Each structure stands twice: as structure tokens, then as C-alpha cells.
């Protein structure tokens, strides 16, 4: 069966520091991969999605970037974190377009 | 631009009650609709997915219906249990492959 892993589960970072969140999927090949941010009391906001290695689409202008160095690995990065980057970050995968999405357990990011 | 709303924002019911959660979307041109459950501090767990050609889907005590023309979906939970306490989110998938999520309904089932 397929599983998705996200780490770390929680992270506290100072303003201006770099960021790297990692997501990996097991048990499937060539998945679509997604990064979302969930702010308190609000819905999920799609940040990035990828349909293949090295293919990244960004949904909103922001301080973050994403990369997909391997088929089942998706990384969310920042060179300098802002206070507004705080939130709950979720990685998800699907077998293809229009297919159900499956989520990891998320990373709680706090910026001080 | 597709917008998804969910009513009510929060709901508290005694154990054993049947309940309905509502999801509304503004653009009826959707490919499918997915219901999720989110426990505090956790990721989303997929509950049901309804294709646009379907009217409803059932899984155990859960039944989700879809009325595309009116832009509505409902999630029916039968015989609610304290373990059902969570936030329930719906998401629509449009023909541009965009997932648009609602803000969720926070459900508390009291023992």
C-alpha cells in the first residue's frame, strides 16, 4: 500500500533562517505531488504542485520554493523565513489528475 | 473563480444523533468532490470521493450526496460517536485539475 511521510512534525525557526521540509511517498510511481499551507481557521491553500521530476508549478507568489529531485520526493524550501510563513504545511499525493488526494501528517512551522 | 463554503462552521451534538454537514460551491463545472476528515494537529484523511456523474457514495456510517446543478454536497453521519469528533472538509476538483477546499466544519460529539 502507499504511504506518505513528512518531516519534521514540528519546527521552530527564527526570522531570516532557511527552511527545508521534506515529503516522500512509498508504494507508487510517478505520483502528482502537492504542498499546501493551512492557516488557523482557514482552508487549505495550494502552494506548489508537481507532475514529474523537476516539474514545479507555483500557485501563489511567495517567499517559498519547491523542488522534486526524485520521483517520490518533494521538498519545500526558503532562503529567509518571514513571520508570515508560520502555519501548518501539508504534503499530498495523487495517482494523477482528478484522482483522490492523500495527505501526510503535516509540519507545524512556527517563526519567532 | 471557484469558492467553497461549509455550513455550519462548528457543530456539537450528543452521541447517537444523525447529522448532516453541508458543502456549497459556486461553479458547478466540477470533475469530482472529495470529503476529508482532519483530527487536531494532523493531516487529512480521505473519506469519500464522488464523481460528477454520481449522486452519492456510501462508506459505513457515512453517506455523501452531490447535486451539481445546485452546487451542493452533504455528508450524512449516522449514529454519531465521540470518535467522529474532528474537522470535516470538502474539496472540489475542477476540469483544470484545481483542488479548492472549504474551510471545514468542526464537529464535536459529546458522550
Residue partners of B10: CB distance under 8 A and separation at least 6: B105, B106, B107, B108
Using a CB-CB cut-off of 8 Å, the residues of chain B touching A104 are: 43
Nearest CA among B35, B106, B30 for reference residue B67: B30
Q: In this complex, which of B43, B98, B99 lies closest to A106 when CB atoms are compared? A: B43
**β-pair type (B44-51, B86-94):** unpaired
Confidence of residue B15 (pLDDT cuts 50, 70, 90): very high
> Tens digit of pLDDT for each residue in B53-91?
999 999 999 999 999 999 999 999 999 999 999 999 999
Interface contact flag, B101 A44, Cβ < 8 Å: yes
Distance CA B18, CA B33 (A): 22
Distance CA A34, CA A50 (A): 6
Residues of A near B (Cβ–Cβ under 8 Å) read 6, 34, 41-44, 46, 90, 92, 97-98, 100-106, 108
* DSSP symbol at A83: G
Percent of chain B with pLDDT over 70: 100
> Tens digit of pLDDT for each residue in A6-45?
999 999 999 999 999 999 999 999 999 999 999 876 779 8
Q: How many CB pairs under 8 A join A and B?
A: 45
Nearest CA among B48, A15, A31 for reference residue A23: A31
Are the C-beta atoms of A63 and A73 separated by less than 8 Å? no
pLDDT at residue A41, as a whole number: 67
Amino acid at each position: 500500500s502507499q504511504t506518505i511521510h513528512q518531516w519534521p512534525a514540528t519546527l521552530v525557526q527564527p526570522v531570516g533562517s532557511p527552511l527545508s521540509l521534506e515529503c516522500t511517498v512509498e508504494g507508487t510511481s510517478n505520483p502528482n505531488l502537492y504542498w499546501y499551507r493551512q492557516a488557523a481557521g482557514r482552508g487549505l491553500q495550494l502552494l506548489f504542485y508537481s507532475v514529474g521530476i523537476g516539474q514545479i508549478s507555483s500557485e501563489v507568489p511567495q517567499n517559498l520554493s519547491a523542488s522534486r529531485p526524485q520521483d517520490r520526493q518533494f521538498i519545500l524550501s526558503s532562503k529567509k523565513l518571514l513571520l508570515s510563513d508560520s502555519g501548518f504545511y501539508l504534503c499530498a499525493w495523487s495517482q494523477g489528475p482528478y484522482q483522490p488526494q492523500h495527505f501526510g501528517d503535516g509540519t507545524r512551522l512556527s517563526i519567532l | 473563480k471557484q469558492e467553497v463554503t461549509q455550513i455550519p462552521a462548528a457543530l456539537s451534538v450528543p452521541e447517537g444523533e444523525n447529522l448532516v454537514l453541508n458543502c456549497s460551491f459556486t461553479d458547478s463545472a466540477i470533475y469530482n468532490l472529495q470529503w476529508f476528515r482532519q483530527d487536531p494537529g494532523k493531516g487529512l484523511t480521505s473519506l469519500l470521493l464522488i464523481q460528477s456523474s454520481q449522486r452519492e457514495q456510501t462508506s459505513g456510517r457515512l453517506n455523501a450526496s452531490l447535486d451539481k446543478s445546485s452546487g451542493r454536497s452533504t455528508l450524512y453521519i449516522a449514529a454519531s460517536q465521540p470518535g467522529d469528533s474532528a474537522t470535516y472538509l470538502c474539496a472540489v476538483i475542477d476540469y483544470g485539475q484545481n483542488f479548492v477546499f472549504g474551510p471545514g466544519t468542526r464537529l464535536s460529539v459529546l458522550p
